[in-house]
Structure 1
Amino acid sequence: MTHSQTLILTVRYPADSIAVLTVAGEIDVDSAPALRTRAMELIRQGRPHLVLDLAPVEFCDSSGLNTMIAVLRYAKDRHGSLSLAAAPPHLTRLLDVTGVGDLIPTLPTTAEVLTRITVPGGTPEQQEPS
């Protein structure tokens, strides 16, 4: 198997209680624990609303899906949420076929996800009327 074992995780903070974690590379049995650890760390640090930007994901197996479900549960237990953004077609199909897409909101862009996350005091980045 020639899967790269590289997973690159970058974070930005568009609002006080929100973190956007961009996931690049392959999410598999070797890399999923790093994603899980980083996601849960962000939630523990006071960012209960987590967005996974999946646009640069090249591959995802059941380990990745299990990680997403675990992070969703962890976020909900802390009155937060998990949303997915910009999932590539191969990942969207996997989410649909397995039913995980029914559990976790998935939208085409991070900006669309951010407009739908409701936090005390309003929605982030979209304060002006549409």
Structure 2
Amino acid sequence: MTHSQPLVLSVSYPAESIAILTVAGEIDVDSAPALRTKALELIRQGRAHLVLDLAAVGFCDSSGLNAMIAILRYAKDRHGSLSLAGSPPHVTRLLDVTGVGELIPALPTTAELVSRIGARDGGAGGQGPL
């Protein structure tokens, strides 16, 4: 019998329009709604560009994938973006197999993503797309 790891979410704000949502634990049918709710809340608060740091995610199923797609749509509707940092191999494979990896930019670190977002925004933390 396996026990799922509880989902732990923490947030940092490296720039005016960017939030990094660090996700640890397992993203499944029980925890995906919490991830989606927190992400949409950050976007509503004016953090149009959201980076999910997934380095500490031990498991992600289709519920997590659906949450990411919903977050991406919500961000794009508000002229923002969703990016992924530190995706473990099992998450990368899920994204690639489903084609979602083509829609959501991913880089190894949050620093690289924040730099890229800042460069596309003209360095001013504006609302440009990733």
Q: TM-score, normalised by structure 2?
A: 0.90
Q: Distance in 2 between matches of 1:5 and 1:22?
A: 15
Which amino acid is 1:29 matched to? V
* Matching residue of 2:84: 84
Q: Which runs of 4+ in 1 moved over 2 A?
A: none
Which amino acid is 1:39 matched to? A
Q: Distance in 2 between matches of 1:46 and 1:73?
A: 15
Q: Deviations over 1:63-116 (max 9, x none)?
A: 000000000000000010000000011111111111110010011111111111
Q: Is 1:116–1:123's contact at 8 Å kept on the other side of the alignment?
A: no
* Matching residue of 1:34: 34
Shift in alpha-carbon separation, 1:123–1:110, aligned structure 2, 3 A = farther
| Secondary structure of 1:10's aligned partner | strand
Q: Distance in 2 between matches of 1:97 and 1:108?
A: 19
| Secondary structure of 1:101's aligned partner | helix
Which amino acid is 1:46 matched to? G
Q: Deviations over 1:15-71 (max 9, x none)?
A: 000000000000000000000000000000010100000000000000000000000
| Secondary structure of 2:55's aligned partner | coil
Q: Distance in 1 between matches of 2:40 and 2:79?
A: 13
Q: TM-score, normalised by structure 1?
A: 0.90
Which amino acid is 2:6 matched to? T
Query: Where does the alignment leave 5 or more consecutive residues of structure 2 unmatched?
Result: 126-130
Q: How many residues align?
A: 123
* Matching residue of 2:128: none
Q: Distance in 2 between matches of 1:5 and 1:37?
A: 19
Report the more deviating stretch, 110-119 or 58-67: 110-119
For the aligned residue pairs, the C-alpha RMSD in angstroms reads 1.3
